[in-house]
Amino acid sequence: MGTRRNTTRITGGIWKRTIVPVLEDSSVRPTLSRIRETVFNWLRHDIDIAECNVLDLFCGSGVLGLEAMSRGAVSACFVDHNMESLVGIGSLLKRLNASRKATLINEEVSSWLGHNTGKQYDLVFLDPPFALENPAIYLSKVNHLVKKNGLVYLENKCSTSITLDSEVECWRSGRAGTVYYGLYRIL
């Protein structure tokens, strides 16, 4: 664990084809490029990424937030408990001359959500570890951080059932192999 040998690439925007390092750690699995392309195609029909403040929870490699920044997001906040992941994201942002548009937070997501009541975001990415029993619980935990008409992306394993609160509606969803992904609107 900790050796940077795995990589993924940004699929669109000004940093298209930029290599993103990924920790060699079985718990870090970046969102597949074909899924990212699908999600950002969905998004371009509903929101203007160039006006978005983005929150990337359980960010891992940071590829979802980086993809949004590449496509013009105003800012991105990356939250993860793994400092080594955040150091990698920070190094890449520095190389891309984009550090000023990003905030890196080294904290457990559950803890951070419990005390963060400030800034609201237009787009929230939730890509929790597949080992979590019910990753959909985070949909209701982030609602106070999502602006009106904002969207939340959730990715999890297909075998996990998703039960939605009355304040959450599924806007779009898809499946790629063992991965379920969806965009949700917090009502």
Beta bridge partners of 183: 153, 172
Q: What percent of the chain has pLDDT over 90?
A: 60
What fold, for 4-186? Answer: Rossmann fold (3.40.50)
What is the structure's pLDDT at 26?
A: 62
What is the structure's pLDDT at 4?
A: 44
Name the average pLDDT for the chain: 89
Rounded CA gap, 97 and 40, in Å?
23
* Biggest CA pair distance of the chain: 43
b vs e for 155-165, b when ≥16 Cβ sit within 10 Å of the residue's Cβ? bbeeeeebeee
Contact, 180 vs 160, CB < 8 A? yes
Tokens of 8: 């993924």
Least confident of 37-51, 149-163, 164-178: 149-163
Rounded CA gap, 120 and 54, in Å?
9
Q: Is the pLDDT of residue 2 over 60?
A: no
Confidence of residue 3 (pLDDT cuts 50, 70, 90): very low
Q: Is the pLDDT of residue 166 over 80?
A: no
Rounded to 5°, angle at Cα 116 from 40 and 89: 50
Element spanning 54, H or E: strand 53-57
* pTM given for the model: 0.91
